[in-house]
Amino acid sequence: MININKSPSPNFNDRRDGKTPSLIIIHYTGTKRAADAAQFYMNTTTDPNAGPISPHYMIDVDGTVTQFVEEDKRAWHAGKSFWNGETDINGVSIGIELVNEGEFADYPEFADRQIEVLIQLCREIMERHGIGVDGVIGHSDIAPDRKKDPGPSFPWEHVRVELQK
């Protein structure tokens, strides 16, 4: 079981129409520090470049996990997106942000500890919600024309192999 810090974001709502999680969406924060990303998740501005946004979880480079939104709620991480005919991706997903600067720093590698914890967290979420490995995807998969995360340095092959164990 992972130790999870709680920092409730005001940026969420109820899942609609009886929807439940069937996807896990992996993102990068685009920030150097977790604290910088967390400020966005607590921000209630209507500026589309600054919020309001929220993931369910964020994993820092040292493996620290913070939960911003409860899994039974609809976090605001996917934006305009679609997958297999579904356009309310926030309504059917759990969003996980990894602290990483991504495209803003030429796609740095993800920390080993961060990926280990991501795999463990994904396994727990998959178990709770009956999500298969094929339901663990990136933000770039659901919004290919506008998003690049988790980016080319994300170790998809390793993560998928580990999730299948």
| 90 pLDDT above the threshold of 90 | yes
Q: Is 4 a member of any domain?
A: no
Average pLDDT, the chain: 95
Q: Is 36 a member of any domain?
A: yes
Instruction: List the domain range (segments joined by +) for residue 31.
Output: 19-163
The closest of 37, 62, 53 to 90, measured between CA atoms, is: 53
Q: Please tell me the least confidently modeled range out of 49-63, 70-84, 107-121, 144-158.
A: 49-63
Residue 92 near residue 79 (C-beta atoms within 8 A): no
Please tell me whether the overall predicted TM-score, pTM, comes out greater than 0.85 for this model.
Answer: yes
- Residue range 126-156, pLDDT digits in tens: 999 999 999 999 999 999 999 999 999 999 9
Q: Is 102 a member of any domain?
A: yes
3-class SS of residue 15: coil
**Would you state the pLDDT for residue 50?**
64
**Would you state the pLDDT for residue 160?**
98
Residue 37 CB coordination number (10 Å): 24
**Would you state the pLDDT for residue 48?**
64
Q: What is the CATH number of the domain that holds 63?
A: 3.40.80.10
User: How many whole angstroms separate alpha carbon 85 and alpha carbon 90?
Assistant: 14
DSSP state of 33: S
Q: End-to-end distance of the chain based on CA atoms, in angstroms?
A: 17
Q: Is 120 a member of any domain?
A: yes
Q: Is 12 a member of any domain?
A: no
**Token representation of residue 65:** 């996990």
The closest of 12, 19, 27 to 141, measured between CA atoms, is: 27
Q: Is 8 a member of any domain?
A: no
Q: Is 123 a member of any domain?
A: yes
| 116 pLDDT above the threshold of 70 | yes
Residue 7 near residue 60 (C-beta atoms within 8 A): no
Q: Is 96 a member of any domain?
A: yes
**Would you state the pLDDT for residue 162?**
98
**Would you state the pLDDT for residue 43?**
86
**Token representation of residue 139:** 């933000």
Which residue out of 70, 71, 86, 97 is catalytically annotated? 97
Paired strand residues for 73: 14
70 among known catalytic residues: no
Mean pLDDT across the stretch 2-14?
A: 96
- As for how many domains the chain has, the answer is 1
